Structure 1
Amino acid sequence: MTFLLKLTPPFEDPVLIFTLVLLIILIAPIILNKLKIPGIVGLILAGVIVGPNGFNLLLRDSSIVLFGTVGILYIMFLAGLEMDMIGFKKTKVRSIVYGALTFFIPIISGTILFFYGYEYQINSAVLLSCMFASHTLLAYPIVSKLGLTKNEAVTVTIGGTIITDTAVLLVLAVVAGVAQGNIGVGYWIKLMVSLSIFVAIVVFVFPIIAKWFFKQIESEQGAQFIFVLTLVFAAAFLAELAGVEAILGAFLAGLALNQLIPHASALMNRLEFVGNNIFVPFFLISVGMLVDVTVLFEGVEIIIMAVVIIVLALVTKWVPAFITQKLYGYTVTQRNLMFGLSTARAAATLAVILVGYELQIIGETALNLTVVLILATSLSSSFITEKAARILAIIESRKQPDLSEKPDRIMVPIGNPKTLENLVDLAIMLKNPQYHEPIYPLAVVIDNEQAAEEIYKKNKMLQEAVKHASATDNDVQLVSKIDINVASGILRAIKELMITEVVLGWNAKITTSDRIFGTILDNLLENTEQMILVCKIMQPLNTTSRLVVIVPVNAELERGFLRWMRAVRLLSTQLGAKVVFMAGRRTNNKIKATVQSSKPAVDATYVPRPSMSEFESNQTGISKDDMVVVISARRGTLSYNGILDNVPRVLSRNYKDNSFIIIYPEQHPSLYQDNQFKTTGYTNETREIEGF
């Protein structure tokens, strides 16, 4: 019996094959989305229809297998890359508990079913039970699209996936070794040694290579993309050499590169775009092409067996999610999300069953039933995850943010084309992800006889800012001003656009009188209340190891405390960098309480603020891969100290290789209405902001 009438022989022209697959990727999700069916389901069903067991339009040949393999590796890689590592460290015990539950409950239940219920040999029963224990994060793109990757339920589920799939693949190695007669001590020693070497290379060597490469090829985004893919597939190959499945290598590569690829970067956007629109759909179609539903028509016993297997597969994933929910107080929606994510069987399950089939541990009927299980659980996973994720996304969106979480309107005055990309990248990382406000690159032209020529030059720079920001999938609104001077143009733009933060670049030029900042900054500090960040970026942002934040006395009492704290947290999360707060005891206690009660979570340590002499001689342990963040203050404010005026000079002389940001926190408008700064004067220094 055939599932559908095979009207034509399968296509052989590679151009026609690729065209058909692209049409499926384009049309299937659109049609099924209108029917309220997840796009993932549409691609799997499309694979069933056009595959060898459907209309036979496409064969599951080497090209489909190749792209499908790339797709599943991409899914695992992105799962590791987008994982909240700081959140995982905080919930690692929960992840271990959930991973153990979602491994032992299914594998014990499956072994009992197949050994006692269907009288399989113990080797076959254990191997078949692995298809209950393993799961694939097939519905992860749904969670990622809705912005829930940092939710604790997702983090715990991904952590549990590491544990359960690793355990399943190790069980596969054991069963395969026993079936082949490799039960000696030497075999297991060899396996453990090879695994240890593989993990050490990927976890420790790959990040070192990647950091070096990103520093050398900072502006070549295409080269960075190819380099990352090379590392992913190299890790997958090393995993196979070590005796485990390639998906484990891809996932480990994602974890290893997690801190080097910021989520808001152009590189991350390219990785997600190519994976989610090409390779992952290929994998889903290839899974559908495996399905042969004619198995269900071979007899009543087969139908009953298929139903039993599907029900047990669902139940043994729901129970661990239920127990974890009760243990740690998760909501029903979070439980359903964990259940949905962990329900789908695909990559690891296929690997286990295909190896068992090749070793003749299981037969063709079990293989076909496994493929039917993959289809059923994939569909269930997509529906359950889609529903739970949408509910959770709505709940998250309704949470009331504190006053520091208001929408950001960040302006980046452009003066030097060499630092344009870094300043725009930094602004994107500092932007509140809950809102979709654009970044505002600003060009100010002095109103004189050269104004027309200068406008042309500045507009070319602004177009480069648009081009760069668009690669990160962020909106940009260009702003041009003609004014009597640069400071006046910036101030007018701040008022007209209701800007909340200004990101300025600093070229570190020092005049003969050893003065650093310029009169532009003086005017901004005297006439604005907004938070101002003066930045010098010497190292690629994604290679930052730590953020060393130096905080003055009474900084916690300022109005802008929560806003600059949020900026530091966001920057730490985007860069995957640890934070070292250097402050007085009272200030550190307030910072610690704020960090612990806020999201996103950061890995922070708190140490006493160094003296000026210690800072000048770098007795603080700051390395060149650290970014120094100095919380400064305007004159007349609670946290102002004259010593702060010397910090930029010290940074420029003694920390020449370090990137740094000097933050002037947001202040009360009343300070500027009474003109108290203008009467006292901010400083007599001659200073210079880059390019102006």
Structure 2
Amino acid sequence: MAPLSTLVHDPVLIFATVMLIMLIAPLVSTRIRLPSIIGLILAGLLAGPHALGLLQHDKIFELLGAVGLVYLMFLTGLEINLNEFIRHPKPSLIYGFAAFLLALVLGTAGGRLLLGFSWPSAILLSSLFATNTLMTFPIVSRLGLAKHQVVTAAIGGTILTDTLALLALSVMVNWMQGSLTAFFWIRQVLSLVLLVFLTLWALPRIGFRFFRLTSPDGASEFVFILAAVFLTAFGARLAGVEPIVGAFLAGVALSRLIPGHSPLMNRLQFVGQALFIPFFLISVGMRIDLKILFSGFSVWMVFIFMIGMVLLVKWSAARLSGKLLRYTRNASMLLLGLCVNQAAAPLAIVLVGHRIGLFTEAVLNGAILMVLVTNLVGGWLTEKYGRLISLQATPERPETDVENTGRTLVPVSHPDTLPGLLDLALMLRPQAASEPIYPLYVAQDGVDVDERVAFGEKLLGAATARIVAAEAPVLPLTRIAVNVAGGILHVMKEFRISMLVIGWNGRSDSLRMVFHTLFDQILEQSLQMVVVSRIEHPLNTTRRIVLILPPMTERQAGFATAINNLGRLVVQMGARLHLLYVDRSAQEAKGLKGIPATVAVTRQPLSVWNDLMPALSSTLQEGDIMVLFSARRARTAWQPSLVTLPGRISRAHPQTSLLVVYPSDFSEEKIEEAPSGALPKGLAPSRILFDLEGFEAQDAIRLLLETMFAPASPAWNALNSVLCDMPPVELAAGMALLHSHVGEVSEPTIFLGVSESGFAFEGFDQPATYLLILLSPTERPPDLHLKTLAGLARFARKPDFMQTIKEAVAGAAS
């Protein structure tokens, strides 16, 4: 009977057959509770030339299989947190050296004593047992364990063992050829150093420039990544190691440029898991020839020895490493499940060993059977113990309150800012969130409202496509409203939004509109976390996040949640974190609890808050993004300088991206306000002066102090000296504030001076009609001082502010 391959000779039909195998094998294997990886290998065995003969393992399958293996190692490297790998190399080193040394000792001894191999053959055979391929990595990735410490140890150990084994192969080849000289060692070491340097140092910089200079086009980004990966893999071959090592290094190098929740990452994973990796698994199965099982006892002896030895070595290395690293039994078994799998490296070593005469056909066939058995065992162990560890992990508490619904609202208005705004929302979105992202277009009502709605629909179409490309749920919304802020606020209430991500284009007129009208309305009438973004470069090219923490910021109710979101953003970007703060003890104790320990953090304390702008000018670098934590008005952490600070930073550094974060305010302690028609506590009618027309600011300060202290008295002199040298802050338009802790008062004391022509202050756009002075006792805690200041700011913003003051003064006079 002719083999079935005679019926499948057309390239289109061959490809269709492989697609059917890729579709059916995972479905069947799931039904019989086998990992889909094993299902694809068994399907390759069944359809291959040694079974049904449906497909032939020709050069096309060799090419696609090699591509799939390289791509698998690239995706594995892409999941590596390089900061964690550098900061915690111990687990990888312990497992890697344990596996290699155990394989070298036990494998060489067994090869010599049990199989009668020569020393070169026994040593090369032992290197097979040290290698492994992370075939079951997709399983742990699906279970959400890709960044687990055990997985990190397995990945690092895999690279170490495979590199050492492939170096052993190179040494054996040169030994057999008689070229094992000092020149060989020098060339090998230098080529490896050059490969690592070019991949980990040069490749990220090339990628950084590429993403900075090109528009966010999915096709060009994808092609660039593929070209970089396969060129690096070929460079590894030139360096004397297998291409899989280069592919893994390329993944590690490019991981910072490919955020986990980005459309680009989704495209890369989709192509690999749907096409390249299944091709590799099927090609592995096609190599297996079950007829070799009936070739005689000597063949079985080799089979049993190879399978038993690899299981013994991997089990011993996993248990020993687990003891040294204090892993639980489940963690040790997961490490075994990840590292027991054999695939590319042992096949490469055996094929070369067979070619140079060190291995027989029995070893070649035994290696293929070893691949099948170890992948069956590894797939089962990884699935079982990965699930146990995943179930033991602390589950995310289901949230029902508005603050934690996981729903993100993204108002969109311009196609230029759309990609960066949506990428930011995707990075801030929790990985386990099932709620959609809500892109919103608010069309202002008017005669041309139909045109605006049509424009908004086109914009929302582009937004939907980008979010769907990242495999995130999306629900686009259109609203017609007279007031844009009102439309946004209505949607936030209707859909119980937990985070608002809004942007502006950086122009001064738009900046003024966002921060002084639209933005104030949203903040005053909402409690959710708000992120205002001005994005000047692709977020995946961010190298460092400069976090600016004003004093008392950590006292906000939603601060911990905001820091957790920032930690998620830092990890997604693969960036470092640089911290600018004033109160060192408070910020170090509370400010970084939500930042993962794997993030590299540097700190730059400021002597006083006024040093912020010079510090930014000296510390900002290319590839930085600034994140300013701010506060809503009339809250504990609020201070007047926060009103103008985003604009000042934006104008001083127009080429650097800026995020302004307002933490949620659901449980923030509300400021005690004065009853309607009453003065705030601390402001007595006797300390209010209306007749300061024509006086300079310093003269006005002296006159106000005289309402409570005798002129030229020690207290008057001390306060006059402090206040006259103090730069005021703009509490609101036309209102200047001086505030300080002093020893001359025993309770919060407020003074108010009024001048129709205004007081001239440096840095103010216009003269200040009102001059407020707040003095707190020296022993009064800073948070209480800021509460008083916030209450004063709330009072000053009331529409009947001046009327209340006049009525209070008139009532006191009568």
Specify which of 370, 375, 394 is matched with residue 372 of structure 2.
375
Pair 1:20–1:136, CA change in 2 (3 A): same
Specify which of 383, 386, 394 is matched with residue 386 of structure 1.
383
Pair 1:90–1:647, CA change in 2 (3 A): same
Greater shift in the superposed pair: 39-48 or 604-613? 604-613
Aligned partners of 2:189, 2:444: CA distance in 1, in Å? Answer: 69
Aligned partners of 1:261, 1:552: CA distance in 2, in Å? Answer: 31
In 1, are the aligned partners of 2:504 and 2:510 still within 8 Å (CA)?
Answer: no
Residue matched to 1:594: 593
**Structure 1 residues without counterparts, runs of 5 or longer:** 686-692
Greater shift in the superposed pair: 274-283 or 81-90? 81-90
Residues 1:72 and 2:91 aligned together: no
Residue matched to 1:544: 542
Shift of 1:463: 1.3
In 2, are the aligned partners of 1:10 and 1:59 still within 8 Å (CA)?
Answer: no
Residue matched to 2:338: 341
Specify which of 462, 467, 470 is matched with residue 469 of structure 1.
467
Aligned partners of 2:206, 2:182: CA distance in 1, in Å? Answer: 35
Instruction: Provide Cα deviations, 1:255-274, integer angstroms capped at 9, x if missing partner.
Output: 11011110111111000000
Shift of 1:279: 0.5
Pair 1:533–1:678, CA change in 2 (3 A): farther
Mapping 1:173-188, distance limit 5 Å: 173-188=170-185
Aligned partners of 1:555, 1:437: CA distance in 2, in Å? Answer: 29
Specify which of 141, 145, 163 is matched with residue 142 of structure 2.
145
Residues 1:255 and 2:247 aligned together: no
Residue matched to 2:406: 408
Residue matched to 2:575: 577
Specify which of 111, 115, 118 is matched with residue 112 of structure 2.
115
Aligned partners of 1:125, 1:678: CA distance in 2, in Å? Answer: 92
Shift of 1:45: 0.7
* Aligned partner letter, 1:381: G
Residue matched to 1:431: 429
In 1, are the aligned partners of 2:443 and 2:484 still within 8 Å (CA)?
Answer: yes
* Aligned partner letter, 1:100: F
Mapping 1:519-668, distance limit 5 Å: 519-583=517-581, 584-591=583-590, 594-595=593-594, 599=596, 601-609=598-606, 611-613=609-611, 615-616=613-614, 618-668=616-666
Pair 1:626–1:5, CA change in 2 (3 A): same
Aligned partners of 2:511, 2:455: CA distance in 1, in Å? Answer: 32
Pair 1:89–1:319, CA change in 2 (3 A): same
Residues 1:486 and 2:492 aligned together: no
In 2, are the aligned partners of 1:404 and 1:566 still within 8 Å (CA)?
Answer: no
Shift of 1:445: 1.9
In 1, are the aligned partners of 2:439 and 2:460 still within 8 Å (CA)?
Answer: yes
Specify which of 209, 217, 221 is matched with residue 220 of structure 1.
217
Residues 1:502 and 2:500 aligned together: yes
Shift of 1:74: 0.7
Greater shift in the superposed pair: 169-178 or 612-621? 612-621
Residues 1:418 and 2:416 aligned together: yes
Residue matched to 2:445: 447
Aligned partners of 1:338, 1:329: CA distance in 2, in Å? Answer: 13
Residue matched to 2:801: none
Residue matched to 1:294: 291
Look up the SS of the partner of 1:539 in the other structure. Answer: coil
In 1, are the aligned partners of 2:557 and 2:667 still within 8 Å (CA)?
Answer: no
Pair 1:566–1:676, CA change in 2 (3 A): farther
Shift of 1:447: 2.9
Mapping 1:226-265, distance limit 5 Å: 226-265=223-262
Aligned partners of 2:143, 2:132: CA distance in 1, in Å? Answer: 21
* Aligned partner letter, 2:320: I
Look up the SS of the partner of 2:479 in the other structure. Answer: strand
In 2, are the aligned partners of 1:405 and 1:563 still within 8 Å (CA)?
Answer: no
Residue matched to 1:689: none
Residues 1:105 and 2:102 aligned together: yes
Look up the SS of the partner of 2:276 in the other structure. Answer: helix
Aligned partners of 2:54, 2:535: CA distance in 1, in Å? Answer: 54
Aligned partners of 2:732, 2:490: CA distance in 1, in Å? Answer: 22
Pair 1:164–1:404, CA change in 2 (3 A): farther
Instruction: Provide Cα deviations, 1:60-114, integer angstroms capped at 9, x if missing partner.
Output: 1111001000100011000100112233233211111111112111222111110
Pair 1:512–1:267, CA change in 2 (3 A): closer
Shift of 1:521: 0.4
* Aligned partner letter, 2:221: Q
Aligned partners of 2:179, 2:675: CA distance in 1, in Å? Answer: 81
Aligned partners of 2:35, 2:549: CA distance in 1, in Å? Answer: 49
* Aligned partner letter, 1:526: E
Shift of 1:11: 3.5
Q: From the two aligned structures, give the one with the greater helix fraction.
A: 1
Aligned partners of 1:151, 1:139: CA distance in 2, in Å? Answer: 14
**Structure 2 residues without counterparts, runs of 5 or longer:** 681-729, 735-814
Greater shift in the superposed pair: 325-334 or 629-638? 325-334
Pair 1:393–1:549, CA change in 2 (3 A): same
Greater shift in the superposed pair: 632-641 or 243-252? 632-641
Specify which of 87, 92, 95 is matched with residue 95 of structure 1.
92
In 2, are the aligned partners of 1:529 and 1:669 still within 8 Å (CA)?
Answer: no
Greater shift in the superposed pair: 442-451 or 63-72? 442-451
Look up the SS of the partner of 1:517 in the other structure. Answer: helix
Identity of aligned residues (%): 37
Aligned partners of 1:236, 1:124: CA distance in 2, in Å? Answer: 28
Pair 1:377–1:617, CA change in 2 (3 A): closer
Residue matched to 2:360: 363
Pair 1:618–1:557, CA change in 2 (3 A): closer
* Aligned partner letter, 2:392: I
Shift of 1:678: 12
* Aligned partner letter, 1:19: A
Look up the SS of the partner of 2:416 in the other structure. Answer: helix
Aligned partners of 1:111, 1:211: CA distance in 2, in Å? Answer: 46
Instruction: Provide Cα deviations, 1:138-179, integer angstroms capped at 9, x if missing partner.
Output: 111111122210111111111111111111111111111111
Shift of 1:371: 0.8
Flag the structure with larger Rg: 2
Shift of 1:10: 7.2
Aligned partners of 1:677, 1:578: CA distance in 2, in Å? Answer: 48
In 2, are the aligned partners of 1:570 and 1:600 still within 8 Å (CA)?
Answer: no
Mapping 1:189-228, distance limit 5 Å: 189-228=186-225
Pair 1:53–1:39, CA change in 2 (3 A): same
Shift of 1:561: 1.0
Which structure has more relative contact order (CA 8 Å, sep 6+)? It is 1
Greater shift in the superposed pair: 432-441 or 69-78? 432-441
In 2, are the aligned partners of 1:516 and 1:648 still within 8 Å (CA)?
Answer: no
Aligned partners of 1:547, 1:344: CA distance in 2, in Å? Answer: 39
Aligned partners of 1:678, 1:615: CA distance in 2, in Å? Answer: 39
Pair 1:331–1:131, CA change in 2 (3 A): same
Look up the SS of the partner of 2:619 in the other structure. Answer: coil
In 1, are the aligned partners of 2:237 and 2:243 still within 8 Å (CA)?
Answer: yes
Look up the SS of the partner of 2:393 in the other structure. Answer: helix
In 2, are the aligned partners of 1:405 and 1:432 still within 8 Å (CA)?
Answer: no
* Aligned partner letter, 1:109: L
Shift of 1:321: 1.3
Shift of 1:643: 2.2
Aligned partners of 1:585, 1:111: CA distance in 2, in Å? Answer: 58
